[in-house]
Chain A
Amino acid sequence: MSRVTLKHITKTFPGVTALDDVSFEIQDGEFFVLLGPTGAGKTTTLRIIAGLEKQDEGSVEFDGEPVDDLAPPDRDVAFVFQQYSLYPTMTVYDNLAFPLRSPLRKLPEDEIRRRVEETAEKLRISHLLQRKTARLSGGEMQRVSIGRAIVREPRIFLMDEPLSNLDAKLREALRVELQHLQRTQGSTTLFVTHDQIEALTMADRIGVLNEGRLIQVGTPEDIYDRPATTFVAQLVGTPRINLVEGMPENGSIHARNSDLHLPLPGNLRLPSRFLLGVRPEDVIISPDGQFSGQVLLTEPLGVETVVHIGTGQERLLSLVPGIAEWQIGENIRFDISHDRLHCFGLDGSRIQA
């Protein structure tokens, strides 16, 4: 496996800048997720690394060596797409062996057997090797599909939204399999998705891409706890972060349109107007809370309930454990975790201490 470095990559298509001076590095053995909405430039990045697309400026390096002049087959990357397709009339064994039997590789059969059996073992499908894929359950088929991608030992796996066409339950199951596999075999992986849950749960590090620009690179904790912009803050976390307009007032923060007064976090120097971000789990309903509000709406999700609280002219979302039974219009009290406040300038960028 390899370390992959992108240096100042720019790519324009007629009328659009798909990537604008994008630089980042994927460490050897790292699971790196590119997260962003449709049109952010995620797939273009993958295709440039694979050599399927040529950048206008910048360079791609594998282990410190530029690969810009290498054709796609010579880069030795494995691409996993949205749809896995298995050969229904072949056995699981032959499906797994298929990528190894490519004329380009010319592997001896005993080497192929060794690799197929090893892969099957990792995916716990050894008992299925002689079965035709048409006779597998959905979950088994998915494992075989992953197996076919990992049976090769490429320099990097490039995965383009591989889970997005699956139903919710299969997606969950497969997410865990991919994560487990990547951790245990330490493969360098670049995984592209628009789904923030996939990014948070699987990544060692996440790169947030929007309109061709890399906005932030960090661990899931960095991205969730210290979002660089309001865009990132709103992209990760469900329900979405509360954003209200704030202003400094005698050494504290006053949220406009409400009676919320909060201590100034750390030694931040705040402008006269800014945006205050509070994650819903940091709005805590409690009988002796500092602030008062009214229940506008509740949304029980099962493990927790989203409570919409009206306070002054603001609506704050709070996340409460369990299925909470509040009456609409009920008066409640709540607190806000002081140590988890986020402040952003009106341009959207995080205000740092």
Chain B
Amino acid sequence: MATIELRQVEKRFGNHQAVKPLDLTINDGEFVVLLGPSGCGKTTTLRMISGLETVTGGSIYLGGRNVTWLHPSERDIAFVFQLFALYPHLTVRQNITFPLQAQGESQETIERRLAEVVRLLRIEHILDSRPGKLSGGDRQRVALARALVRRPAAFLMDEPLGALDAEFRESMRAEIKQLHIDQNATTVYVTHDQVEAMAMGDRIVVMSNAEIQQVGTPAEVYHDPANLFVAQFIGSPGMNLVKGHYIGGQVIMPGDNNRYNVPTDWVPALNRATGGDGDVIVGFRPEAAVAASDGELLGQVYATDMHGAYTVLHVNMNHDDIVHVRSNRRTTYPIGTPVRFNLNPQMVRFFDPVTGQAIRREVVQ
């Protein structure tokens, strides 16, 4: 297994900048997810790592070796696509062993490695079936087995769950993560689904507009988004973002008398960022807003969502400023009910409305 290093890697198609120069190091054994909306450059980045796409600039290192201009087959990388590229006329067994036979491995090695991946993916019972007869989940297991059996230096996966039904996605998500824990193979995984990214990644690389917005653990991108894009993109619903005006330790929020007292540990940072008097965006996750009869902030119930285990209240603070508040599912609120709520001081964040960047408490050196 190997470290993957991208140094100032970029891609242009004519005048179109698909990926702006980026630096990224994926550690040996790490599971890194490239996450972003379609057109953000995540798949192009993956394809440049694989060699299916050439770089316009920069270099790529795999295990310390410069592979920038090597053919895909010389990079020792396995690629798993959204659509399981299996040979329909071969059995599952033949599909899996094909890459090893092509590499000229001995029959003994082939049998041993086959037995390993078959046990790992629990596909003994379908070894003699042909792909056409299998469920989507089983086909994806076979595609994974075929990638694993080669023992490559790294795995690249491009939306491998994208073609599966919701019911398979959830279980395959866990299976791929389990596989990673057992194998510890360096993996780069591309998806547009933030739930998948959060659930699977050791670290997440959030991309938008052909560049990296943030690199961090699931907890980092969730609790400390670098900018408004990440704050909105991560979470379902995303972070509540409310425009306000900061002055004298308070933020004047939309609605009547919505003066929010800023947690004291934020005051110096906000004084610094606004010059003591200026606009800010207040960000908080739905679970950071707690309904309370003596709550500091006030709004009216706009809609109530029952999610099974919990309820999300949509609270209108003012015209078009609707925030999401997570609530106990047993409480019901008719539309228009006034609701007071407090913000958990540990979970409040602030953003600069002009640059969209997060305001940090600590001074950046």
Q: Which residues of A contact B (CB under 8 A)?
A: 124, 167-169, 172, 175-176, 179-180, 183-184, 197, 200-202, 220-221, 224, 234, 236-240, 279-281, 296-297, 299-303, 306, 308, 319, 321, 323, 325, 328
Whether the pair B174, A302 counts as a contact (CB closer than 8 A) is no
Whether B335 pairs with A300 at a CB distance below 8 angstroms is: no
Whether B170 sits at the interface, judged by CB under 8 Å, is yes
Task: A66 to B167: give the CA distance in the assembly, Å.
Answer: 39
A296 touches B199 (CB 8 A): no
Q: Report the bound CA distance from A153 to B198 in whole Å.
A: 44
Q: Which residues of A contact B173 (CB under 8 A)?
A: 299
25 residue pairs from A and B, CB less than 8 Å apart: A169-B233, A172-B237, A175-B305, A176-B302, A180-B303, A180-B314, A200-B306, A200-B307, A234-B167, A238-B170, A239-B170, A281-B309, A296-B178, A297-B177, A297-B178, A297-B181, A299-B174, A299-B177, A299-B199, A299-B200, A301-B195, A301-B198, A302-B285, A303-B326, A323-B223
- Tell which of B218, B308, B322 touches A237, judged by Cβ atoms closer than 8 Å: B308
- What residues on B are CB-neighbors of A221 within 8 Å? 306
- Given known contacts A176-B302, A180-B302, A302 and B234 CB-to-CB distance under 8 angstroms: yes
Contact (Cβ within 8 A) A180 B170: no
- The 9 tightest CB contacts between A and B, nearest first, are A299-B199, A201-B305, A281-B309, A302-B222, A323-B219, A300-B218, A180-B303, A179-B303, A176-B303
* CB-CB nearest in chain B for A202: B305
Which residues of B in the span 305-328 have a Cβ within 8 Å of any Cβ on A? Answer: 305-309, 312, 314, 319-320, 322, 326
Q: Does B276 contact A (CB under 8 A)?
A: no
Task: Kindly provide the distance from the CB of B170 to the nearest chain A CB, expressed in whole angstroms.
Answer: 6
Report yes or no: B306 in contact with A201, Cβ–Cβ below 8 A: yes
Give per-residue flags for B168-212: 1 if the beta carbon is below 8 A from chain A beta carbons, else 0: 001001100110010000000000011100111000000000000
B307 pairs with A300, CB closer than 8 A: no
| B residues 219-249 in Cβ contact with A at 8 Å | 219, 222-223, 232-238
The answer to whether A306 touches B199, judged by C-beta atoms less than 8 angstroms apart, is yes
Name the residue on A nearest B173 (C-beta).
A299
Are A302 and B319 in contact, CB atoms less than 8 angstroms apart?
A: no
Q: Residues of A contacting B177 with CB < 8 Å?
A: 297, 299
Query: Does B128 make an interface contact (CB < 8 A)?
Result: no
- Pairwise interchain contact A168-B236, C-beta atoms closer than 8 A: yes
B335 touches A183 (CB 8 A): yes
Contact between chains at B303 and A323 (CB < 8 Å): no
Q: Is the CB of A319 within 8 A of B285?
A: no
| B308→A303 contact, CB < 8 A | no
B286 contacts A by Cβ under 8 Å: yes
Q: In angstroms, how far is the closest chain B Cβ from the Cβ of A204?
A: 11
Q: Find the residue from A168, A202, A220 having the highest chain B CB count within 10 A.
A: A168
Chain B residues with Cβ below 8 Å from A281 are 309
Which residues on A sit within 8 Å (CB–CB) of B303? 176, 179-180, 183
- Which of B219, B287, B322, B326 touches A176 (beta carbons < 8 Å)? B322
Q: Which of B233, B308, B309, B335 has the most CB of A within 10 A?
A: B308
In the complex, what residue of chain A is closest to B330 when comparing beta carbons?
A221
- A28 to chain B minimum Cβ distance, whole angstroms, is 18
Which single residue of chain A is at the shortest CB-CB distance from B235?
A302
Name which residue of chain B comes closest to A296, CB basis: B178
Which A residues are in CB contact (< 8 Å) with B314? 176, 180
- In the complex, whether B37 has a CB less than 8 A from a CB of chain A is yes
The minimal Cβ–Cβ distance linking B313 to chain A, given in whole angstroms, is 11
**Bound Cα distance A59, B235 (Å):** 45
The closest CB in chain A to the CB of B332 belongs to A221
- Are B309 and A319 interface neighbours, CB within 8 A? yes
Residues of the B chain whose Cβ atoms lie less than 8 Å from the Cβ of A302? 198, 218, 222, 234-236, 285
Closest residue of chain B to A197 (Cβ to Cβ) is B307
Contacts of B170 in A (CB 8 A): 238-240
- Contacts A180-B302, A201-B306, A306-B199 hold; do A172 and B236 have CB atoms under 8 A apart? yes
- A299, B170: Cα distance in complex, Å: 11
